[in-house]
């Protein structure tokens, strides 16, 4: 079956058409231009889907195939599983909308929708670093923190659709207030902006994460790094102690930090019941393409 995937991000909307064997037939990318509002974004997504559908129909007619082409979309936000209403997103104008319903009305076809972390996990589990593993916990550590659980190639999103919302489980009940309303979420400690904020609190300097890593001999760096590793370890050891996945795959800008894969991994192992030291914690394979590919695989 041909599959169309859409990745709605804060700055760009990507689309992809996958062949029966999940190879990429066609890709496209436009700017989100969120300042132009919800209807503009809706039309922009519809026109990308139509471009992909047109190509899909052309190829299918050459092979005399009649089956429908599936459509999946990943969004950078959260929504209510029951109604589809978007409850949070950095693309502000989609909050409160029912994007899934509106797209289905315009396209006359059912679509699947998930948050971008779930799409990341789907892509990596099926076509990336998670191939060959039965259960995959895919983590995004970027502007925000999120995760997805994939078992036997299928997404496990739970009764309410919040399974894998790792970024918003609290690791400190007396911690910082998170934008989600909860206190001490993982997101408030190990997202890119949170790590930069902590460096600012310690040193008074406002510099990007990549630059902080250049200060490795600085005394403040030692404290910053040890807090970072502790929070990373508490967060991921909770996951292992509860669902014990076969592999943990890291993605997002923060996942490019090399010490997460040795010192970070060891810090996690020290907090696992029985000090089990087997769960691989590895980097992603598909990079920026994981969101759009995962969206296509939702069906």
Residues 105, 99: Cα–Cα separation, whole Å: 10
- x-marked contacts with Zn ion along 174-213 as a string, rule CB under 5 A: ----x-x-x--x----------------------------
Q: Which of residues 100-139 bind Zn ion (CB under 5 A)?
A: none
- Toward Zn ion, which CB reaches closer, 69 or 91? 91
- Toward Zn ion, which CB reaches closer, 173 or 204? 173
- Toward Zn ion, which CB reaches closer, 78 or 289? 78
If binding is defined by CB under 5 A, does position 145 make contact with Zn ion? Answer: no
Which ranges of 7-90 would DSSP assign to H, the alpha helix? 38-62
Closest to 123 measured CA to CA, from 280, 253, 5, 245: 5
| Closest approach of Zn ion to the CB of residue 145, in Å | 9
Which ranges of the chain would DSSP assign to H, the alpha helix? 38-62, 99-107, 116-127, 187-190, 192-203, 209-212, 219-243, 263-269, 290-296
| Closest approach of Zn ion to the CB of residue 259, in Å | 25
| Closest approach of Zn ion to the CB of residue 186, in Å | 8
Q: Which of 34, 168, 225, 265 binds Zn ion (CB under 5 A)?
A: 168
Residues 39, 211: Cα–Cα separation, whole Å: 39
Collapsing DSSP to helix, strand or coil, 131 comes out as: coil
- Toward Zn ion, which CB reaches closer, 166 or 269? 166
Q: How many CB atoms lie within 10 A of CB 3?
A: 24
Residues 105, 42: Cα–Cα separation, whole Å: 11
Residues 179, 199: Cα–Cα separation, whole Å: 20
| Closest approach of Zn ion to the CB of residue 63, in Å | 47
| Closest approach of Zn ion to the CB of residue 193, in Å | 13
| Closest approach of Zn ion to the CB of residue 165, in Å | 9
**What are the residues binding Zn ion (CB under 5 A)?**
168, 178, 180, 182, 185
């Amino acid at each position: 079956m041909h599959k169309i995937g859409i990745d709605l991000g804060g700055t760009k909307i990507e689309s992809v058409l996958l062949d029966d064997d999940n190879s990429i037939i066609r890709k496209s990318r436009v700017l989100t231009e969120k300042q132009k509002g919800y209807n503009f974004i809706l039309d922009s997504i519809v026109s990308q889907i139509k471009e992909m559908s047109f190509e899909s129909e052309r190829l299918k007619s050459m092979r005399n195939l009649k089956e429908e082409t599936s459509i999946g979309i990943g969004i950078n936000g959260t929504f209510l599983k029951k109604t589809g209403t978007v409850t949070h997103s950095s693309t502000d104008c989609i909050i409160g909308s029912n994007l899934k319903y509106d797209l289905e009305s315009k396209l006359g076809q059912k679509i699947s929708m998930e948050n971008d972390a779930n799409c990341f996990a789907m892509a990596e589990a099926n076509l990336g670093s998670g191939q060959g593993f039965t259960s995959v916990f895919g983590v995004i550590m970027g502007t925000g923190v999120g995760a997805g659980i994939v078992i036997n190639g299928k997404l496990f999103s739970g009764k309410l659709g919040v399974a894998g919302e790792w970024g918003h489980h609290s690791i400190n009940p007396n911690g910082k207030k998170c934008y989600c309303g909860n206190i001490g979420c993982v997101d408030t400690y190990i997202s890119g902006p949170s790590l930069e904020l902590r460096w600012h609190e310690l040193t008074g300097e406002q510099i990007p994460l990549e630059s902080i890593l250049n200060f490795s001999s600085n005394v403040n760096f030692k404290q910053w790094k040890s807090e970072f590793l502790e929070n990373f370890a508490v967060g991921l050891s909770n996951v292992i102690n509860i669902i014990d996945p076969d592999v943990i795959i890291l993605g997002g800008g923060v996942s490019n930090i090399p010490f997460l894969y040795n010192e970070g991994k060891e810090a996690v192992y020290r907090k696992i019941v029985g000090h089990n030291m087997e769960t691989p914690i590895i980097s992603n394979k598909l990079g920026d393409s994981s969101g759009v590919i995962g969206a296509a695989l939702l069906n």
